[in-house]
Amino acid sequence: MVPMKDLKERRPAKRLSISRQAFLRASLALASSPLLRYLPAQAANGAEVIEVAPGVFVHQGLYELQSPQNRGDMANASFVVGGEAVAVIDTLGSAVAGRELRDAIRAVTNKPIRYVINTHMHPDHVFGNAAFKQDNPAFVGHYKLGRGLGSRAERYLMINKKMLGEEAFEGIEIILPTIGVEDSLSLDLGGRNLVLEAQRTAHTDNDLTVTDTATDTLFLGDLLFSVHVPTLDGSIKGWLALLDELSRKEAARVVPGHGPHTMDYPDALTPEQTYLAAIAADVRKLINDGKTLEDAMESAGFSQREAWKLFDHYHVRNVTAAFAELEWE
Ligand SMILES: [Zn+2]
What confidence score (pLDDT) does residue 44 get?
Answer: 53
- pLDDT in the model for residue 16: 33
Question: Nearest 5 degrees, angle CA 189-CA 54-CA 75?
Answer: 80
- Closest C-alpha among 22, 26, 78, 30 to residue 52: 78
Three-class SS state of 322: helix
Cβ atoms 238, 200 nearer than 8 A: yes
**Residue 184: helix, strand or coil by DSSP?**
strand
The Å distance, Cα 221 to ligand 1 centre, comes to 7
How many angstroms separate the alpha carbon of residue 103 from the centre of ligand 1?
A: 24
Residue 125 CA to ligand 1 center (angstroms) comes to 7
Question: What is the 120 CA–ligand 1 centroid distance (Å)?
Answer: 7
CA of 231 to the centre of ligand 1 (A): 7
How many angstroms does the Cα of residue 55 sit away from the middle of ligand 1? Answer: 25
pLDDT score for 42:
39
How far apart are the C-alpha atoms of 218 and 135, rounded to whole Å? 25
What confidence score (pLDDT) does residue 46 get?
83
Q: Cβ contacts of residue 313 below 8 Å, gap of 6+?
A: 65, 229
pLDDT of residue 327: 95
DSSP string, 221-240: EEEEESSBPP--SS-HHHHH
What is the whole-number distance in angstroms between the Cα of residue 232 and the centre of ligand 1?
A: 8
Q: pTM for the complete prediction? A: 0.86
Please give the distance, rounded to the nearest whole angstrom, from the Cα atom of residue 257 to the centre of ligand 1.
Answer: 7
Q: What is the pLDDT along the chain (329 residues), one digit of tens a residue?
A: 434 333 333 333 333 333 444 444 444 444 443 333 333 333 355 899 999 999 999 999 999 999 999 999 999 999 999 999 999 999 999 999 999 999 999 999 999 999 999 999 999 999 999 999 999 999 999 999 999 999 999 999 999 999 999 999 999 999 999 999 999 999 999 999 999 999 999 999 999 999 999 999 999 999 999 999 999 999 999 999 999 999 999 999 999 999 999 999 999 999 999 999 999 999 999 999 999 999 999 999 999 999 999 999 999 999 999 999 999 88
In DSSP terms, 207 is beta-bridged to none
CB 217, CB 252: distance < 8 Å:
yes
> Nearest-CA neighbor of 108 among 40, 11, 183, 238?
11
